[in-house]
Structure 1
């Protein structure tokens, strides 16, 4: 595999250079992104770009608590592939003060080999231990996290590290790319004390990385052969056959009859941690509902793949759908869709309310389209002084009408809206749902049937179908993209402050980036790839207090920390924890 931008030698830094680099970093951190013009930090462009990303993400620059999680067992493909390569080199590195560090795709250290005691002590003091989170969002610029962001080899020397915890280290890292898919599955780094730097560190790291990638290719081939053999054996013996691992689902046509875009996610969520070690009857989730099945581990995969034999279901008597539910859905939430269809079937005036960005205008247009008015006129009374004349003219011409954001204007009065309804031409109103606003609901209640759209985060179970709809609306080749199970997992984990509008932007950008191919985690924005759990009430209040203090201080973190009565490092940690920038 050809690698560009590999350093052939690692130059040492003089004491003066280290001091200048440290001062440049501190100038940017303390003064903000505009404190130095781009290209004037005195470090390689890649390092400066990383620093600026870290400042934008409010990553701490001083020693701080680093995230830790049990690195788990050695059954992942990456660790199986890396193990023989690293173990073969252990003897060669036994007396060399250099550590070999393997990370997964998130930046978590999953394997560390170090022979010399003082190097082990240095790594321990830097918290570079198995299980530590060395992503760029956690510890800033470093030879693991920055490699994964840039997806290319990176050399980080001493004070070029963003966090002072790592200033005594020089690290040369290289990404580990899965052959065939092109996915970055981890990184391999060599780390040593600044004074022990070797001119060929970057070359050695790249060479070890190539060896691991070669093993990944062998592992992938053998693993996939095992999957195919297990699938063929199951398919010959039964119907409703599936084989699933972390990345793949193989299914016969009988199993596909129960499939949907979230098939892999549903199965793997169950089997990843709860898969049996021998054949066992289980109730497994499928997109069309739970199924009885016999689940067994695929031989030779160490519990990383499973066969699933679906039991046949008794056929249920067909029930004809009522006329009011025929045709394409008006909304992805079945309950909302039913209420809209009921209103449409009785030709009622509809008011669509909901959070900002929840798709009110989109839904209003669908309602009017169902009533035979595709080219609806959209009028915003709070923006147009002559909105009444525009609305009357649209209805007089027989065109549909959307009165948008009526909560922002005192203009629409009940008698005026009743006059519009008297024309017999359908129109729809939209308004943001605000619990402190009693006037708008009272107005809408006098003239329309109100249907409230839920926040996207409240209906995560509908995400797969909604994403499929959004993709289908894109022009080729993006419309041919499909999201992987891992990408769907990331969408489910996100809290969607921008609601449907944000989802549409994310899906559109990811599909275009994928060029019509599969959309994976790497195609999603960084904020989704590192999505955290939702905050509780107390945490949300704390987050708001931090954000308010930072806003009041004009973005000056030192003043904000003083206002809150906490140290600056604590503030950095809170900013990162709550995702405040």
Structure 2
């Protein structure tokens, strides 16, 4: 079907349509489906709406009685307002369910002149049969993105639509004129907080050659020294560090840049503004990776980490080549007696190190046997486990016998490492460097909760590598489940989220039991689940 589009319209915009149709298919949008329009509660009037309304009203007056409609969406694709158009055009729009509050993202309704420019950040003409959903093929529409002139943040999209057959040749000229007027009004109405960010930045760059970055809501300022030092992946890592700083305190982070240099980031919140000043100084020592394995272990060694956090990789790196591996998950298939015999054989006599995986799955009997074998063996032994109370209760005897213990930090608590890890995994998976993540894609990746840690990150990168084999990887290339990046919450909200998730997991998914265990009502728990976006 996409080839038909290219054959019918052979101009320079058609590859954009083809790519958009491919994304629509990947998002599971059905061409014959009705738009899944669910009204979203609208917040108070935004800066975009305040700047755009006078422009929309003025032009709508000039177009009164014509078959042309002016449509405005915000930066997430929510329809903000519709202006102009003759009565028949308004009825046609209303019959489609297009009212303020509905979502027009490409991932929901496929190729369209409002959602697709949000994905590509470029203007686009969508002719009648180029709409992905059949119900929209009675219209030809042009969409032009609106960028804040100060922050360069994508604020929304202005769309001009008409019924098929109407003259759309002047749509691009009209849209550009209107967007220019809207952006000028946005600049005049720029909030005072951004002025504070600018003042803080100017005060910090007094010393020549200083690498400084100021990160605020929709605003990033950087000195030439910082621009020269940081690659796109590094920008996303610096942002992740800045967003993790609690209000009213200063934090310091060490970061290995894409170039291999190690830097120290001193992150200081800016008074009176939602922003952070990051001072970057280069360290003399280059850090080699994030693994703890360079440290000489004391045996037996216990490695504790969440699922997907790299327990197995760390264990085998420490154990060295030729290590023997036993996994407690095999008890289910082999039976306790067979597994016990394998354990005794692996730990008997001299030989290479032994890795015992997933001790959290061992029964009390096998735990006691493992403890006995650890007392007797002369082998170097590495054990792996998930964190939890079981290490202080049913399996407490094993950690007590270990002379060393390493805790692997969950990926969500080291967000600044996500950009570098993602690019490294992409190179490993793709086998070449013809693709790379854009800074915006890196930012979205760094903001994900990563409940599955490194394993989840690898799966996402593998999906991306299968979709894009060359060029920049934009947010639209990410799986739909990992596009909605939000700035990370405060440490308190993150802690609350983890407590609730742990209670639900302990209750086997029963939220009523989880609410009782937490000492709250079921309605309170559901409210917190929605507020914290717990799946």
- Please give the range of the TM-score, normalised by the shorter of the 2 chains: 0.5 to 0.7
Contact 2:239-2:416 within 8 A present in 1 as well: no
Question: 1:145 Cα shift?
Answer: 3.2
1:146 and 1:184 map into 2 onto residues whose CA distance is 13
Aligned equivalent of 1:441: 395
Structure 2 segments unaligned to the other structure (5+ residues) = 11-17, 148-152, 183-199, 254-264, 512-528
Deviations 1:492-538 (A, max 9, x none): 54333323311233346557877797765344322222257889759
Whether the aligned pair in 2 keeps the contact of 1:267 and 1:286 (CA below 8 Å) is no
Cα distance, 1:449–1:243 mapped onto 2, change above 3 Å: closer
Match of 1:464 in 2: 416
Inter-partner Cα distance in structure 2 for 1:99 and 1:579: 39
For 2:302 and 2:6, the matched residues in 1 are separated by 58
- Which residue pairs with 2:39 in the alignment? 65
Structure 2 counterparts to residues 309-348 of structure 1, below 5 A: 329-330=290-291, 345=297, 347-348=298-299
327, 350, 356: which is aligned to 1:380? 327
Q: Check the 8 A contact 2:304/2:385 in 1, yes or no.
A: yes
| 1:513-552 mapped onto 2 (5 Å cutoff) | 520-531=474-485
Q: Given the two structures, how large is their TM-score scaled by the length of structure 1? A: 0.53
How far is the alpha carbon of 1:125 from its aligned partner? 7.9
Measured after TM superposition, the shift of residue 66 of structure 1 is 2.8
Measured in 1, the distance between the counterparts of 2:85 and 2:424 equals 55
What 5-or-longer segments of structure 1 have no aligned partner?
Answer: 10-43, 217-229, 275-281, 297-302, 332-336, 547-573
**Corresponding residue number in structure 2 for 1:498:** 452
The answer for the alignment partner of 1:431 in structure 2 is 385
Find 1:400's aligned residue among 353, 358, 365: 353
1:211-360 aligned within 5 A: 238=208, 240=210, 242=212, 246=218, 249-253=221-225, 262-264=237-239, 287=253, 288-291=265-268, 329-330=290-291, 345=297, 347-360=298-311
Aligned to 1:367: 318
Contact 1:377–1:394 (Cα < 8 Å) also in 2: no
> Residues 306-356 of structure 1, C-alpha deviation per residue, up to 9 Å, x if partnerless?
99796x99xxxx9xx9xxxx986545xxxxx9xx96xx55x1312334433
Instruction: Work out the CA distance in 2 between the residues paired with 1:153 and 1:65.
Output: 26
Assess, with a 3 A threshold, how the Cα gap between structure 1 residues 528 and 328 changes in structure 2: closer, same or farther: closer
Separation (CA, whole Å) in 2 of partners of 1:481 and 1:160: 28
After the TM superposition, which residues 32-181 of structure 1 pair with which residues of structure 2 at under 5 Å, given as runs?
Answer: 50=24, 53=27, 64-70=38-44, 72-74=46-48, 93-104=63-74, 106-109=76-79, 112-116=82-86, 119=89, 128=98, 132-136=102-106, 143-145=113-115, 154=126, 170=139, 172=141
TM-score (norm 2): 0.56
Q: State the secondary structure of the residue aligned to 2:415.
A: helix
- What is the CA distance between 1:98 and its match in structure 2? 1.9
Would you say the 8 A contact 2:353–2:380 is kept in 1? yes
| Residue correspondences, number | 442
Shift of 1:51: 8.1
Cα distance in 2 between the residues matched to 1:376 and 1:470? 29
Query: 1: CA distance between counterparts of 2:457 and 2:470?
Result: 18
Question: Structure 1 residue 364: deviation in Å?
Answer: 1.8
Q: Which residue of 2 aligns with 1:562?
A: none
Taking the aligned partners of 1:499 and 1:253, their CA distance within structure 2 comes to: 33
